[in-house]
């Protein structure tokens, strides 16, 4: 399997690690070629952007971070060809989100020049736009939805020489025809899944900083799916694929504690990142899990959840569990845009109360912000910053909205995006860097500047905003010197030390 990542460091995707475990459990071999250690297309990664925007404190023990390898595509092709020819696989797979698909195409097309082995692509991207993906000449099979059981069944058919055309969840090319099979039932209960196999990952995927110190991380999937219907997310579309209300599922408390205990001991973990989009869900399950986690695991951890799920009680429970940071999707300070454009009816008072409850118990708060929404405006931009200041949010994580396949935003606005940005799907690179504004008179370049300046505006009094605006956008050396000095002051006030 190829993991075509070039942006995120220190992440072991649960989907890939559980696939590996399922394949090995069924008696097959699995080898991962992770592209993360190879710095091929850019030296700009989320960590660098995050430091510039005060998301992260500068690392005090960088020696603990494994180094990336400066590489060209030509160098990587030599390595890739050697690994594949020596391993002699029966099947080559990619797990691809939409961000990764341009790289998946590039690598998959190169593999086809020297290796006739079937290529399968699974993950989010083929799940949400299978009719487009299956047309790609480099691939032979796509997997829609959950892949563990489909992949194992495919490998069993390859081993036995059986007919692979009718395996559920798979679309298969065969002699000029495409066999489109229905999805099988969702895996429920999730306890049936094997524990993740992290032996497949290079060391660079284990280490990541938190508040300036590098820890050895574990990446945990506590649940699957999300019951919400936000217009910028693919979850509502996936609901339609399976046609049932139980798309959102949780592992049992006992299974979670067994899994966490095994991983903590096996890999000497120091910190946990939970990947769930809704960590605080059913109250009874959450309370039971919190009790067991505090007694048997007690590692520091970070989560994502909704504002509705945080109150005085749940905030205190999270603190007692050793939760260090909670990230919540605010997206915008405009209730009207949030409701009408993003299909999120959450009120600002709900966000305000959630952030305050977390702050009062000493948990770091992070707000996800989406800029360049359809019909977004400067008035909304400034009001969003004012709300963040009032709610005393510690950190903001800024991205630009993008109409991904399978989202309500794409259904509603695709024609507008096509007219303004012909072929925009081929440009998918990094939603922290690439705005695609529509129905607004604010240009792409201005949105990039606004993203970089937003964390600074949030940290200074409003009367300083005109000075930040002037110096932050100026090329004059004196303005730049003032701007950099202000950034250092902000960093010192935020993290208690003067940056180098």
Express each pLDDT in 328-339 by its tens digit. Answer: 999 999 999 999
Note whether 396 and 454 are within 8 A (CB): yes
* pLDDT score at 292: 98
464-475 per-position pLDDT tens digit: 999 999 999 999
Q: What is the reported pLDDT for 43? A: 52
What gap in Å lies between CA 208 and CA 303, rounded to an integer? 15
Give this prediction's pTM: 0.95
How far is Cα 199 from Cα 32, in angstroms, rounded to an integer? 10
The confidence score (pLDDT) of residue 50 equals 80
Outline where 218-311 has alpha helix (H): 235-242, 253-267, 283-296
Topology match between the domains 2-180 and 221-459: no
Q: What does the pLDDT read at residue 428?
A: 56
- What is the SS3 assignment for 347? coil
Mean of the pLDDT values across residues 202-222?
A: 96
Tell which residue, 440, 450, 404, 400, has the closest CA to residue 420: 440
Question: In this model, does residue 45 exceed pLDDT 60?
Answer: no
Region 160-177: mean pLDDT is 97
> Which residue spans within 297-385 are E strands per DSSP?
301-305, 323-331, 364-371
Q: Residue 165 in 3-state DSSP?
A: coil
pLDDT in tens, 432-460: 888 999 999 999 999 999 999 999 999 99
pLDDT of residue 7: 82
Q: 92 vs 62, 119, 137, CA distance in Å? A: 35, 5, 15
Instruction: Give me the phi and psi of 485, to 5 degrees please.
Output: -65, -40
pLDDT for the residue 427: 60
**Burial profile 13-37: b = 16 or more Cβ within 10 angstroms, e = fewer:** bbbbbbbbbbbeebebebebbbbbb
Among residues 217, 451, 206, 204, the alpha carbon closest in space to that of 324 is found at 217
CA distances from 35 to 104, 151, 428, 491 (A): 11, 22, 18, 33
Residue 24, pLDDT above cutoff 70: yes
pLDDT per position as a tens digit, 48-71:
678 888 998 989 999 999 999 999
Q: What is the CATH number of domain 2-180?
A: 3.40.50
CB-CB contact of 341 with 380 (8 Å): no
Domain 221-459: give its CATH architecture.
Alpha-Beta Barrel (3.20)
Alpha-carbon distance of 343 to 336, in angstroms, equals: 10
Residue 290 has phi, psi (to 5 degrees) of: -60, -40
Q: What is the pLDDT of residues 76-123, one digit of tens each?
A: 999 999 999 999 999 999 999 998 899 999 999 999 999 999 999 999
**CA-to-CA distance for 402 and 410, rounded, in angstroms?**
8
From the CB of residue 162, how many other CB atoms can be counted at a distance below 10 Å?
Answer: 13
Average pLDDT over residues 339-362: 98
- Tens of pLDDT along 170-201? 999 999 999 999 999 999 999 999 999 999 99
Mean pLDDT of the chain: 94
Q: What is the greatest pairwise CA distance in the chain?
A: 73
Beta bridge partners of 367: 328, 396
Using DSSP, state whether 207 is helix, strand or coil: strand
Q: Would you say residue 245 has pLDDT above 80? A: no
Looking at the chain, the number of H-run helices and the number of E-run strands are: 18, 18
Is the Cβ–Cβ distance between 23 and 32 less than 8 Å?
Answer: no
pLDDT for 162: 96
Rounded-to-integer distance, Cα 232 and Cα 330, Å: 13
Q: Where are the domains of the chain?
A: 2-180, 221-459
Residue 413 and residue 373 in contact, taking contact as beta carbons nearer than 8 Å: no
Q: How far apart are CA 41 and CA 152, in angstroms?
A: 33
Of the listed ranges 1-15, 174-188, 301-315, 417-431, the one predicted with least confidence: 417-431
Q: Which pLDDT value is given to residue 426?
A: 73
């Amino acid at each position: 399997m190829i993991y075509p990542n070039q942006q995120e460091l220190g992440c072991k995707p649960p989907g890939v690690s559980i696939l590996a475990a399922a394949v090995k459990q069924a008696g097959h071999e699995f080898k991962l070629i992770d592209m993360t250690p190879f710095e091929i297309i850019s030296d700009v990664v989320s960590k660098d952007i995050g430091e510039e925007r005060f998301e992260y404190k500068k690392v005090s023990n960088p020696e603990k971070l494994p180094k990336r390898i400066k590489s060209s595509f030509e160098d990587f092709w030599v390595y890739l060809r050697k690994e594949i020819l020596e391993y002699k696989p029966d099947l080559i797979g990619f797990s691809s989100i939409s961000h990764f698909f341009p790289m998946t195409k590039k690598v998959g097309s190169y593999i086809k020049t020297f290796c006739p082995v079937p290529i399968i692509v699974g993950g989010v991207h083929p799940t949400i736009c299978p009719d487009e993906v299956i047309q790609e000449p480099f691939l032979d099979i796509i997997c829609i939805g959950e892949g563990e059981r489909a992949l194992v069944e495919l490998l069993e058919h390859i081993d036995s020489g059986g007919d692979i055309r009718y395996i559920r969840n798979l679309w298969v090319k065969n002699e000029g025809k495409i066999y489109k099979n229905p999805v099988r039932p969702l895996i429920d209960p999730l306890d049936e899944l094997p524990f993740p196999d992290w032996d497949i990952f290079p060391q660079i995927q284990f280490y990541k900083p938190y508040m300036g110190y590098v820890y050895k991380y574990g990446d945990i999937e506590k649940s699957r799916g999300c019951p919400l219907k936000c217009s910028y997310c693919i979850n509502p579309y996936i609901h339609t694929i399976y046609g049932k209300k139980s798309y959102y599922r949780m592992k049992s408390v006992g299974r979670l504690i067994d899994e966490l205990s095994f991983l903590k001991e096996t890999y000497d973990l120091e910190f946990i990142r939970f990947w769930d989009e809704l960590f605080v869900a059913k109250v009874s399950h959450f309370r039971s899990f919190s009790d067991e986690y505090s007694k048997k695991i007690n590692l520091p951890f970070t989560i994502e959840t909704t504002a509705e799920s945080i109150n005085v009680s749940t905030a205190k429970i999270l603190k007692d569990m050793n939760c260090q940071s909670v990230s919540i999707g605010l997206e915008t300070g405009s209730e009207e845009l949030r409701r009408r454009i993003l299909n999120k009816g959450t009120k600002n008072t709900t966000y305000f109360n959630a952030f305050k409850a977390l702050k009062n118990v000493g948990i770091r708060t992070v707000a996800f912000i989406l800029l360049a929404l359809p019909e977004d405006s400067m008035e909304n931009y400034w009001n969003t910053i004012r709300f963040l200041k009032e709610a005393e949010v510690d950190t903001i994580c800024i991205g630009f909205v993008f109409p991904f396949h399978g989202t309500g935003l794409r259904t509603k606005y695709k024609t507008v995006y096509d007219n303004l940005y012909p072929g925009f799907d081929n440009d998918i690179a990094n939603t922290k860097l690439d705005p695609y504004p529509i129905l607004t008179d604010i240009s792409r370049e201005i949105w990039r500047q606004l993203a970089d300046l937003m964390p600074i505006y949030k940290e200074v009094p409003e009367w300083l905003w005109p000075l930040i605006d002037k110096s932050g956008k100026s090329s004059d050396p004196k303005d730049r010197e003032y701007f950099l000095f202000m950034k250092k002051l902000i960093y010192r006030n935020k993290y208690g030390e003067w940056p180098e």
